[in-house]
Structure 1
Amino acid sequence: MQALKLYGKKDLRWEKAEEVEVTESDDVVIKVKAAGICGSDLSRFAKLGPYVEGMTFGHEFSGVVEKVGKAVTHVNPGDRVAGCPAFPCKSCHECEKGNPARCEKLTVLGAFQAGAFADKTKLPAANVLPIPDEVDDDTAAMIEPSAVVAHAYYRTSMQPGDTVAVLGCGNIGLLAIQWAKTFGASTVYAIDIDSNKLTIAERVGADVTILPKEKPAYEIIQELGGDGVDVAVESAGSVAASAEVLALPKKGGEVVFMGIPYSDVSIKRFYFEKIVRNELRILGGWNAVSSPFPGREWHTSIEAMRSGCIQTNPIITHRLPLEEGPAVFERILNQNEFFSKVLLYPTTS
């Protein structure tokens, strides 16, 4: 079996890995069909390094069940599945309260347990979800990031007819646009400094695209006839966007932070005062799980993809063999070409 293993910062290797076997009664061994590169994978690769040296990387994937433990009853060999990569401890205070996303000891596939950038991977049965025939393997590989977005939106008080601004149109932002529409948003503003991303944003349903080069996005939204949006989503994970998003909601509106900046965030007084004077509600959206595990985020994502409400094909820009992983991670960082979602495929699939 072959896998991509992370040994250090920018040290990702395509090499032989141990065969995956059933060792527990609830184990499900899955032959990987498609695996996606997440923004967190890029940060781990370039800035943070591995959790465990030489660990098989990757957590977004779809596949086919190969083997199951004797206690597994809801899937069988040959079934098409997606995998929830989160492992809450189930015993901390937050887990006992029914908040697995806030687990004090939460780990993720590819961190301390071999991940999905491999020919095969393994999950407990509770983390394995059957997928319908209408959801293809590429789409199923993006159920996890879709569930991340749905989880965050479920935390808001969004109502049909509300207006939404999505700041940052990477993969999460492009899914956030579609989920806003699915939740009934009347108008969705897509904001980014990359025109390529805005082109995709328009394809997936954004009503208005904003390239804030000449003036701030909040001014453009006001000029278009609004006093701000009901819900503003920060999905860029940048230091600047983490402050600028505070100027987008109307008085009494909400801000949802989904992106994670990897530097300290300094907020100018102008933006900070928006929180206080506009009485904003500030929310964080973390991970993709809730109770009962893995949560409604997963089931609604699967249904939204089955029904066509969530489209992933416009988001996918690259489909490559898994062994090209080390090279494509470097290519993404070099920024000499445009990348949105990259899917990797084991050669044995």
Structure 2
Amino acid sequence: MRALKLYGKEDLRYEEADRPVVVKPLDVIIKIQAVGICGSDLSRYKKIGPYVPGMVWGHEFSGQVSQIGSQVKTIKVGDRVTGCPTLVCQDLGKEECYYCKKAEYARCESLTVIGARHPGSYAEYISLPEKNVVKIPDNVDYESAAMIEPSSVVLHGYYRMKITAGDNVVVVGCGNIGLLAIKWAKILGANQIIAIDINEEALASAIQAGATAKINSAVSEPIAEIQQLTKGLGADCVVESAGSPITSAQVYSYAKKGGAVVFLGIPYADINIERFYFEKIVRNELTVLGSWNAISAPFPGKEWEATIEALASGALEVKSMISHRLPLAEGPAIFKRITHRREENFGKVMFFPENIK
């Protein structure tokens, strides 16, 4: 089969790879129908490089089951599915760690994601354990299903934050995770949803996604505008989804006293926090949360169930976020374009393997 393999920084190749086969009795082989680019893929491509040079990459996908192991009971050949890309102790043949024993899977000491040390989904086929394979309803198309994982990442953060109906929410960074955070804030009953970014096209997308106000932090001071919009209080919930060292230091000032800040973005750099911002944590008695991955118990978690239900009911719409639909063979070229873009705007980029006609 053909696949995208990452060999080093900005060294992505479309080439032959071994097609997965059933090895273990609980293996499920999936023929991939759609697979999207994650923001973390872009950071690894540009800044970090692969865990294992030459590894088949990617982890946001959907597809159809083509083979199953002898002990698979809940999945059958032909099922339309998505896949939770996270592997924990049980999947890696290790004794369960302290956190897996408590069913706190997002904190697993051995946690890894396909595309890191195990073959990923930028390919024609992929193998996953049965418990990682999630069936999708007939009225949820493959493109939408390929975005169930990033949607679940956002919901995991909101569940940690305990967002409630009527809250005022600030979302910092209006990339794909930020747009999903806006969409979910609306579904969960937020009063105001204030989007912050430095890109006007991203802010326009935020309004389309359901934001009630936008702030371009490159041209105006967010604190004053947030205070005005929230009658001098600040936001109940602040979502940091930009992954910027600058915004990661500033977000504490956007929350009201007793408010909460959740970090979904990863800055991949040192963060220097001025006293003005840091003191907000103490003086305003903020709850500051990290949110990692998209899984809970029972595995893969209610984040996945809620996303699928929202897509099936029409409450959540994600296809409008897709800006590019491309054959998988164009992977190396599009990653380079995104990394070195000048004027071109990218939303969610969706690939389709060569087996899709």
Q: What TM-score range do you get, normalising by the shorter chain? A: over 0.9
The equivalent position to 1:181 in structure 2, one of 167, 177, 186, is 186
List gaps (5 residues or longer) in structure 2. 91-95
1:344 to 343, 351, 357: 351
Cα pair distance change 1:213/1:51, threshold 3 Å: closer
Matches within 5 A, 1:65-214: 65-90=65-90, 91-214=96-219
Check conservation: 1:86, 1:109, Cα contact below 8 A: yes
**Distance in 1 between residues matched to 2:134 and 2:181, nearest whole Å:** 22
Q: CA RMSD in A?
A: 1.0
For 2:105, the aligned partner's letter is P
In 2, distance between residues paired with 1:128 and 1:157? Answer: 27
- The 5-angstrom pairing of residues 1-349 of structure 1 reads 1-90=1-90, 91-224=96-229, 225-336=231-342, 337-349=344-356
**Distance in 1 of aligned mates of 2:314 and 2:202:** 21
Q: In the TM superposition, what whole-angstrom CA distance separates every residue of 1:75-131 from its partner, at most 9, and x where no partner exists?
A: 211111000000111411111111100111101011111110001111000000000
Where 2:161 maps in the other structure, the secondary structure is coil
The Cα of 1:309 is off from its aligned counterpart by 2.0
Q: How many residue pairs get matched?
A: 349
Shift of 1:169: 0.5
Contact 1:204 1:311 in 2 (8 A): no
Instruction: Give the distance between the partners of 1:246 and 1:318, measured in 2 at CA.
Output: 35
For 2:176 and 2:124, locate their aligned partners in 1 and report how far apart those are by CA, in whole Å: 24
Look up the equivalent residue of 2:130 and give its one-letter code.
A
Q: Is the 8 A contact 1:178 1:309 kept in 2?
A: no
TM-score, L = length of structure 2: 0.96
- Give the residue type in structure 1 aligned to 2:318: T
| 211-220 vs 65-74, which moves further | 211-220
Identify which range, 305-314 or 131-140, moves more after superposition: 305-314
The whole-number CA distance in structure 2 between the counterparts of 1:249 and 1:314 is: 30
Deviations 1:268-322 (A, max 9, x none): 1110111111110001110000111111111111111111222112211111110
- Kindly state the Cα deviation for residue 200 of structure 1 after the two structures are TM-superposed: 1.1
1:53 partner letter: P
Which secondary structure state, in structure 2, belongs to the residue aligned with residue 81 of structure 1?
A: strand
Cα deviation code 1:169-219 (max 9, x no counterpart): 011000001111122111111111111111111111111111123322121
Instruction: Tell me the TM-score normalized by structure 1.
Output: 0.98
Unaligned runs of 5+ in 1: none
The question of whether the paired residues in 2 share the 8 Å contact of 1:200 and 1:314 is answered with no
Identical-pair percentage: 55
